[in-house]
């Protein structure tokens, strides 16, 4: 009887040690390669204490990850933004001594990161697209089809303002080029040149790995998630462009797909995906910070 007890206890201990580490454990987000993040259209790295990836970078670092946030044009073509990011990736590799990086891009940052991985796959271990405009945005289609002049002037002014308040005035802004990249036609043209990870079907998954780079994506599928968030209402209006198609307010769920789709139906809107505005997200959904931490741990499990 005593021998049987010790046998069962040994089995239980072995099973326990085989379980994945809990999200609060030290080293939970410690990836082999640095994590390099890039913002979306009209985005910024930080404005004073307000980070674009609000509370996310610090949470990843607290778990052991090396995290860098790149600075690219708030508004410009995917290729221009991609070249800006590539320059910074090379600098990060030089500083850290790492041989590769894990790229994470939100919104227009998704295609921006994809560009880097496509032209220099030898420098990239993985690409994670968060609410990425991988097959275009119907909001961009509506604006460019109906009011291209007004849209680009207004959005150009916003881009200039964002560059000033974030202190990133050295980056060229081109709202027309940005909006063209974000349309369905512009995205499909980009995909023909950089197809890695893009699903071949309308709403399926893409290749999990291409040219040695792993591809992942996730996105939200709601617009109004917290009545205290002043930016929820505008996203509710822009969602009308999708005619009932599931979307996060700016990007259709199917358009966000890239590589392995973690989920495309989080109760998050386009800004909730990066824990904005200032953490005002749904109280009834997994925290965006947790989703990023889980992804870092997923990369860790793959040896990335």
- CB 155, CB 40: distance < 8 Å: no
Catalytic residue list contains 270: yes
Q: Which one is catalytic: 45, 141, 229, 248?
A: 248
Set 270, 272, 282, 287: catalytic member: 270
192 classed as catalytic: no
Q: What are phi and psi of 114, to 5 degrees?
A: -60, -40
Helices (H), the chain: 2-18, 56-62, 78-96, 109-119, 138-146, 148-165, 175-182, 184-193, 232-238, 288-301
Q: What's the token pair of residue 254? A: 């199917």
Instruction: Give yes or no: 256 in active site.
Output: no
Which CA distances in Å does 194 have to 78, 120, 133, 219, 268?
Answer: 11, 11, 14, 21, 28
In the three-class reduction of DSSP (H, G, I as helix; E, B as strand; rest coil), residue 272 is classed as helix
- Cβ proximity of 117 and 217 under 8 Å: no
Three-state DSSP at 176 gives helix
Q: Which of 107, 126, 163, 287 is catalytic?
A: 107
Cα separation, 154 vs 172, in Å, equals 16
What 3-state class would DSSP assign to 262? strand
- The residues assigned a catalytic role are 107, 248, 270
């Amino acid at each position: 009887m005593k021998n049987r007890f010790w046998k069962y206890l040994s089995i239980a201990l072995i099973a326990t040690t085989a379980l994945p580490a809990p999200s609060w454990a030290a080293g939970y987000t410690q990836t082999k390669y640095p994590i390099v993040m890039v913002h979306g259209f009209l985005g910024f790295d930080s404005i004073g204490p307000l980070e674009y990836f609000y509370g996310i970078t610090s949470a990843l670092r607290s778990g052991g990850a090396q995290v860098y946030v790149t600075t690219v044009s708030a508004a410009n073509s995917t290729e221009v933004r991609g070249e800006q990011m590539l320059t910074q990736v090379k600098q990060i590799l030089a500083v850290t001594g790492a041989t590769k990086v894990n790229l994470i891009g939100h919104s227009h940052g998704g295609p921006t990161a994809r560009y880097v991985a496509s032209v220099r796959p030898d420098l990239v271990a993985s690409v994670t697209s968060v609410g990425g405009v991988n097959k275009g945005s119907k909001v961009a289609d509506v604006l460019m089809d109906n009011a291209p002049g007004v849209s680009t002037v207004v959005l150009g002014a916003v881009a200039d303002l964002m560059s000033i308040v974030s202190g990133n005035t050295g980056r060229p802004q081109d709202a027309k080029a940005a909006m063209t990249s974000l349309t369905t036609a512009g995205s499909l043209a980009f995909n023909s040149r950089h197809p890695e990870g893009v699903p071949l079907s309308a709403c399926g998954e893409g290749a999990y790995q291409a040219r040695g780079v792993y591809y992942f994506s996730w996105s939200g599928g709601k617009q109004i998630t917290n009545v205290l968030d002043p930016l929820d209402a505008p996203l509710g209006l822009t969602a009308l462009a999708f005619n009932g198609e599931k979307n996060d307010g700016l990007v259709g769920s199917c358009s966000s797909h890239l590589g392995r789709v973690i989920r495309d139906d989080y109760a998050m809107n386009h800004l909730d995906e990066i824990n904005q505005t200032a953490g005002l997200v749904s109280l009834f959904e997994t925290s965006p910070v947790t989703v990023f931490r889980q992804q870092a741990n997923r990369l860790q499990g793959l040896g990335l």
